[in-house]
Structures are given as structure tokens and as C-alpha cells.
Structure 1
Amino acid sequence: MAHIDYYFTTLSPFAYLADQRLERIAEAEGASITYKPLDIMALFSRTGGQAPKDRHPSRMAYRNQEVRRQAKKTGMKMSFQPAHWPTNAAPSSYAIIAAQAAGGGDMGALVHGVLRACWAEDRDIAEDAVIRDCLEQAGFDPALADSGLLSGAETYAANLEEAVSVGVFGSPFYVVDSGEMFWGQDRLDDLQAHLQGKL
């Protein structure tokens, strides 16, 4: 069975636009997934990238066009200027880490629920009530928002270090145990083709 390490930030518009395609691909191809939320701003600084606020206007203009095009292609509802972006990604990331450790719910639904809250529902994913709701909607105990904060912080930091060590530099980023790496939701078809032995 193939395994996919999924590196992402809960602030990423492109991770939101991935919807739950990764989960559908993994199910179809018999692959497993480990979710690895990380601090994207720290990742950028470690791997030669820049925070959006520091990028040249031409790069941001292109990024904004691309987000709109990708949203139109998928037909997904999206706020192009979310009311609460950027925000603190750590609380939602800690909750995702705690949920993965606890089990019992739908991880894909949880991750997408958090991303949807930011990018389609104009909710602040740093707020406890929003995180609790996302946990509950995905079948997890909402109390996970409060538990395991220390271990969540440790894993969050460890995910960053691991990402840097394996060559991850953006979000969403998919690393297959074969060694193949795929950056961006627009590479999910290639990821599936790889799992099928075609790429």
C-alpha cells in the first residue's frame, strides 16, 4: 500500500481548492494519508519563499488571478478576500494533529472543514468555537480543541522540520513513500497517475 504525507497550512487557498480530492484518490488507489499541518511562514523563510505580504505586486496579481481561475474550474464557493486572513493557523493545526492521534472521525472532512471555514464562510479559524464546530462536524470530540496543546505544538514544529528535510516548500504538498513529490492541488491528477504506475 502506498502512503502519502500531506503537508499543508490551514491558511492555504490552494489547499482549500483541493477539496477532498486527495482522500478520494487515496481511497481509489488504496493509499493511506498522514496529515502534517505546518507553519507556512516559517517554511517560506527556510526554503527561499516569501510571505504573500512581501511578494512583488506582479506575483500577487498573478496569484490572485490563478486562485479565481481555479475556483471557477472547481465550481467551489470562495471568498477571495476572507474576513479573517491571515490569522493564527496554530490552533486549528493543533486540533487537526490531536484529531489524527485520537481517531474516530473523518480527517479529510475535518481538514476541508477548517479550510472552508476560512475561505468560503468568513470564519476565524483561530477561534475556539470555530475549531470545535469543525471537529464536531467531522465526527470528532470537540473537546480535542482544548486537549493535547503541548503535544500538538511539538508535532507542529516537528512537521516543519521534517518538511524542510524532505524538500517541501509550499502548500499543499504531497510526498509519496516512493519518493515522488507533488506541489499544488493542480498536480493531484499526476499524483493519481503515479499511484497507478503511469507516471
Structure 2
Amino acid sequence: MADIDYFFATLSPYSYLAGTRLEEIADRHGATITYKPVDIVTLFGRTGGTPPKDRHVARQEYRLQELRRQSDKLDMALNLKPAHWPTNAAPSSYAIIAASKAGGGDLGGLCHAILRACWGEEKDIADDAVIRACLEGAGFDPGLADSGLLVGAETYAANLEEAVERGVFGAPFYITTDDQRFWGQDQLDDLDRHLAGRAK
């Protein structure tokens, strides 16, 4: 069985545009996914990246064009400038970590629900009510939004350190057990091919 370590950010539009394709790929190949939310802004600072707002205008313009093209291609609703972005990503990340430890629900569905709330539904993913609704919709106890905050913070910080150590510099980022690295939702087809043994 293959394993995939999935580093992502609940504020990342490209993590949102990945949709549920990672889960479909993993299911097809009998792979397991370990979900590792990270602080993307701090990760940029640690790995030579620049937050979108600080990029040259040419890069900002290209990013918006590319997001529009990708959302159109994938037929996914996307607000290019969400009302609640950027926001505090920690509460939603802690909820994902708590849900992962608790089990019993659809973790991939939870991650996508939180991302969709930000990028497709104009909701504030730092809002407790939004997080609770996402938890409940994915089959988890909504009370997880208020539990394990210390463990969540510790795991969130550990995920960041692990990401830096393992060569992660953006989101979404996928690493297989044989240390093949795939950056971006547009690399999911290559991840699929790799797991199928067709990639060299």
C-alpha cells in the first residue's frame, strides 16, 4: 500500500481547486492519506516564497488569470477575492487535526468543505460556527472545534517544521513513501500515474 503525505493550507485557493481528486486517486490505488495542514505564510517565509499581496504586480495578475482558468476548467465556483481572505487559518487547521485524531468522519470531505467555505461560499473559516458546520457536514462531532486546541497548535507547528525539512514550499504539496514530490493541484494526474507505476 502506498502512502501520501498531504501538506496543504486552508487558505490556499489551489488546495481548494484540488477538490476531492486526491481522495479519488488514493482510493483507486489503495493508498492512505495523512493530512498535514500548514501555516502557508510562514512556510513561504522559511522557503524563499512571497505571500501573494507582496508579489510583483505581474505575478499577482498572472495568479488571478490562472485561478480563473483553473476554476473554469474544473467547473468549480471560485471567488478570486473572497470577502474573508486572508483570515486566521489556525482554528480551521486545528479542527482538521482534531478530526483526524478523533476519526469517524470523512476527513477529505472536511478539508474540502472548509476550503470551499472560503473560496466558494464567502464564509469566514476562522468563525466557530462555520467550522462547526463543516465538521458536522463531514460526519464529525462539531464540538471538536473547541477541543484539543493545545494538541492542535503543537501539531500545526510540527507540520510546518516537517514541511520545511522535507522540501515542501507551497500548497497543495504531495509526498509519496518513495519521496516523490508533487506541487500543485495540476500535478495530481502525475501523482496518479506515479502510483500506477507508469511514471519513470
Q: Do they superpose with TM above 0.5?
A: yes
Unaligned runs of 5+ in 1: none
1:184 aligns with 2:184: yes
Partner of 1:22: 22
Q: What's the CA shift for 1:61?
A: 0.6
Q: What is the correspondence of 1:111-130 to structure 2 with a 5 Å cutoff?
A: 111-130=111-130
Q: What is the correspondence of 1:62-101 to structure 2 with a 5 Å cutoff?
A: 62-101=62-101
Task: Give me the whole-angstrom Cα distance separating, in 2, the residues matched to 1:162 and 1:81.
Answer: 30
Task: Give me the whole-angstrom Cα distance separating, in 2, the residues matched to 1:66 and 1:177.
Answer: 30
Q: What is the correspondence of 1:32-181 to structure 2 with a 5 Å cutoff?
A: 32-181=32-181
Render the CA deviation track for 1:141-182: whole Å, top value 9, x for unaligned. Answer: 000000000000000000000000000000000000111000
Task: Give me the whole-angstrom Cα distance separating, in 2, the residues matched to 1:186 and 1:179.
Answer: 19
Unaligned runs of 5+ in 2: none
Q: TM-score, normalised by structure 2?
A: 0.99
SS at match of 1:123: coil
1:12 aligns with 2:12: yes
Task: Give me the whole-angstrom Cα distance separating, in 1, the residues matched to 2:186 and 2:89.
Answer: 23
| Equivalent pairs, count | 199
SS at match of 2:140: coil
* Alignment RMSD: 0.4
Q: What's the CA shift for 1:53?
A: 1.1
SS at match of 2:101: helix
SS at match of 1:42: helix
Percentage identity across aligned positions?
68
**Aligned partner letter, 1:64:** L
Q: What's the CA shift for 1:77?
A: 1.1
Point out 4+ residue stretches in structure 1 off by more than 6 angstroms.
Answer: none
Task: Give me the whole-angstrom Cα distance separating, in 2, the residues matched to 1:118 and 1:101.
Answer: 24
Q: What's the CA shift for 1:31?
A: 0.4
